[in-house]
Structure 1
């Protein structure tokens, strides 16, 4: 399966791209914003394309030619301001979804955020991100909603607090983390990347969304439940 990773220079994207490259059943394409980033990835044998989520949808269509799946892990970051958040996390995601639909690339996985599906959480500031956080959650919420109303074979993953710790290989995957008695509310990015690969391998995850947290269940088993 040839997989385009949009946001391959982000922390999850970097881990995922290398995992795809090292696997036996995937072929990675790292979607990168600059030529300098491309050179660094290509130097270690990774396949790359240049893409800018703030440019035209046709640019995305060009780099999606021949791919089997798209993973959207892009994010504007916490310091770029609400304008970038809306243009990358929302408009960039929507353009990617529309490009995939137009080209017939059916499989689409998006990395969202915990509680992005709960409007009462983000719209009333019940989080630790301040006023800017409302833009962040609004962007994630409506990007996910747009994907749910597309014709794509989507999976939406909503991870809890992301850590740079080594992966454990174990996670909690549930429709609603509020049903879990003692959630960890944190998860290594490496486990998110590994979960994305398990999702791509499992047709049972098509047109579904999940909360994703650290846990005690092996990733493959958690995805199969």
Structure 2
């Protein structure tokens, strides 16, 4: 099944796309700007230019599932958080449902269900994730929600934990999230499940069955 990767040019998105291409897993990379396309074409990955703040339904053509790993980023305000992390994710779910896609895979956040417990500057983002996740659950499209902890730029260990007690910390590398995404995309039988993801000692197959 071909997966549309929304947010392909992001830090997790790029790593996931490269892993998927190397594994022979069909993907289409949704990017915002033409100048981002060469990086993907050089690696044999099909890009499609579309914007979550505009019309992007055409990007879904030929795809069977969608991976949402887009984010407005730490240098934008709550306005972009609303339009991208919240409304963009909701619109993507509605399009996926309309087109009858097999699955929607969401990269959310640990403790998104408790936005007021997040650091103050993170609360709009967590609230957006909370609402987008709730919409996805009620959208009648099969879904998987991944909830990584605090993201780091460490190299992939490909070892995971599913609780803070098990991990001893609340962090996970973006590289490990990319590997977890690949595992989910390659296993279409995983549906209607939510997983907390942290760096740990277990293979992903023990976390996501």
TM norm. shorter chain > 0.5: yes
1:99 matched to 2:84? The reply is: no
1:82 aligned residue = 78
**Other structure's SS at 1:133 match:** helix
2:105 corresponds to which of 105, 109, 114: 109
- 1:200, 1:27 → 2: CA distance? 10
The aligned residue for residue 208 of structure 1 is 193
CA distance in 1, matches of 2:61, 2:40: 20
Count residues in correspondence. 209
Cα 1:45/1:76, change in 2 over 3 Å: same
Q: TM-score scaled by structure 1?
A: 0.88
2:34 aligned residue? 35
**Residue 85 of structure 1: how far off its partner (Å):** 0.5
> Is residue 18 of structure 2 the alignment partner of residue 18 of structure 1?
yes
Equivalence for 1:6 = 6
Residue 165 of structure 1: how far off its partner (Å): 1.0
Residue of structure 2 aligned with 1:199, choices 167, 171, 184: 184
Q: What SS is found at the alignment partner of 1:74?
A: coil
Q: 1:164 to 1:134 in 2, by over 3 A?
A: same
> Unpaired runs of 5+ in structure 2?
none
2:135 alignment counterpart: 146
Deviation of 1:44 (Å): 3.0
Alpha-carbon offset, residue 203 of structure 1: 4.5
Q: Which residue of 1 aligns with 2:152?
A: 163
Question: Where does the alignment leave 5 or more consecutive residues of structure 1 unmatched?
Answer: none
Q: Equivalent residue for 1:187?
A: 172
Contact 2:109 2:148 in 1 (8 A): yes
Shift of 1:19: 0.7
Q: CA deviation at 1:181?
A: 5.1
TM-score, normalisation: structure 2: 0.94
Give 3-state SS (helix, strand or coil) of 1:66's partner: coil
CA RMSD, Structure 1 to Structure 2 (Å): 1.5
Question: For 1:62-109, what per-residue CA distance to the aligned partner results, in whole angstroms no more than 9, with x for missing partners?
Answer: 110111110000000111000001100000000100111111112110
Cα drift, residue 15 of structure 1: 0.2
CA contact (8 A) 2:195 2:208 kept: no
Aligned to 1:219: 204
Per the alignment, in what secondary structure is the counterpart of residue 199 of structure 1? helix
Kept in 1, the 8 Å contact 2:161–2:167? The answer is no
Give the Cα separation in 2 of the matches to 1:190 and 1:27: 19
CA distance in 2, matches of 1:204, 1:183: 30
1:197 Cα deviation from its structure 2 partner: 1.4
The question of 1:63 aligning with 2:59 is answered yes
Counterpart CA distance in 2 for 1:199 and 1:46 is: 19
